[in-house]
């Protein structure tokens, strides 16, 4: 009888105010005994405009390196508005510290869009509209056109975003589909529990829904060499990679 334990280890660096990352990853990996996710936390800077680097993450990368991960990820989307290059630099830092290939939620979303060939998409963002407009501008530099935008009319903290119920999430997501000839819809914000609603909207509208938390796991699985189809979480995870 073999000893229990996963053969693939994923290292996840999670903002301290995010309560969705661990639970969503655990649920997505419920049928994957070969993969385990190991999480460490760090505190986000006060301003949304601050770029995340190894200095902001403090001891978190070194702590996650202790489990000898096969892939690591910064489970945050700030690079969507502060810039892709900053996230690529962060990945270089994480790879050097942990000895494993690295990604971020932002770069994972970009990889998912490219993998599925999505260029004309709707954006769902649970934060300020001015930040959402920066996200749209950033993605347009790489050929992705956000043609619709749905953002809340009120300002929510990260813990408040995690507490909204499914009717609130559905009401936020639905307007993003309000355009002709969309390729897909993207939900950016890893503390928004939109992953749980993706399959329903995909069935209703017939186009992919890319959730940033789902994309992060999808990319880590590919980087670690453990990519395989995981049904029930939308088209992205349902396709083996």
CATH domain 8-105+214-235 topology: Rossmann fold (3.40.50)
pLDDT in tens, 203-221: 999 999 999 999 999 999 9
Please tell me the predicted confidence (pLDDT) of residue 48.
66
Categorize the per-residue pLDDT at 1 as very low, low, confident or very high, splitting at 50, 70 and 90: very low
Per-domain residue ranges for the chain?
8-105+214-235, 108-211
Per-residue pLDDT, 52: 77
C-alpha to C-alpha distance for 152 and 163, rounded to whole angstroms = 14
Beta bridge partners of 234: none
pLDDT tier, 228 (very low <50, low <70, confident <90, very high otherwise):
confident
Task: Please tell me the pTM assigned to this model.
Answer: 0.94
DSSP state of 30: T
Predicted pLDDT at 67? 95
Instruction: Tell me the C-alpha distance between 85 and 87, whole Å.
Output: 5
**What span, in angstroms and rounded, lies between the C-alpha atoms of 198 and 119?**
19
Confirm whether 8-105+214-235 and 108-211 share one CATH topology: yes
Q: What topology does CATH give the domain 108-211?
A: Rossmann fold (3.40.50)
Contact 212, 77 (CB under 8 A): yes
pLDDT score of 2? 56
The mean of the pLDDT values for the chain is 93
């Amino acid at each position: 009888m073999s000893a229990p334990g996963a053969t693939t280890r994923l290292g996840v660096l999670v903002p301290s105010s995010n309560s969705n990352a661990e639970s969503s990853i655990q649920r997505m990996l419920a049928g994957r005994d070969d993969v385990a996710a190991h999480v460490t936390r760090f505190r986000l800077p006060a301003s949304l405009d601050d770029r995340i680097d190894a200095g902001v993450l403090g001891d978190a990368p070194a702590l996650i390196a202790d489990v000898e991960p096969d892939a690591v990820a910064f489970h945050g989307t700030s690079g969507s508005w502060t810039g892709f290059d900053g996230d690529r630099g962060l990945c270089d830092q994480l790879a050097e510290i942990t000895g494993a290939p690295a990604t971020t939620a932002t770069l994972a979303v970009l990889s998912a869009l490219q993998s599925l060939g999505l260029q004309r998409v709707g954006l769902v963002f649970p934060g300020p509209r001015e930040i959402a407009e920066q996200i749209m501008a950033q993605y347009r530099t790489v050929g992705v056109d956000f043609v619709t935008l749905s953002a809340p009319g009120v300002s929510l903290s990260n813990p408040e975003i995690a507490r909204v119920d499914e009717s609130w999430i559905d009401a936020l997501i639905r307007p993003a589909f309000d355009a002709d000839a969309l390729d897909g819809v993207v939900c950016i914000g890893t503390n928004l529990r939109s992953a749980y609603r993706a399959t329903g909207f995909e069935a209703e509208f017939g186009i992919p829904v890319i959730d940033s938390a789902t994309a992060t796991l999808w990319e880590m699985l590919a980087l670690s060499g453990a990519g395989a189809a995981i049904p029930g979480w939308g088209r992205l995870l349902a396709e083996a990679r």
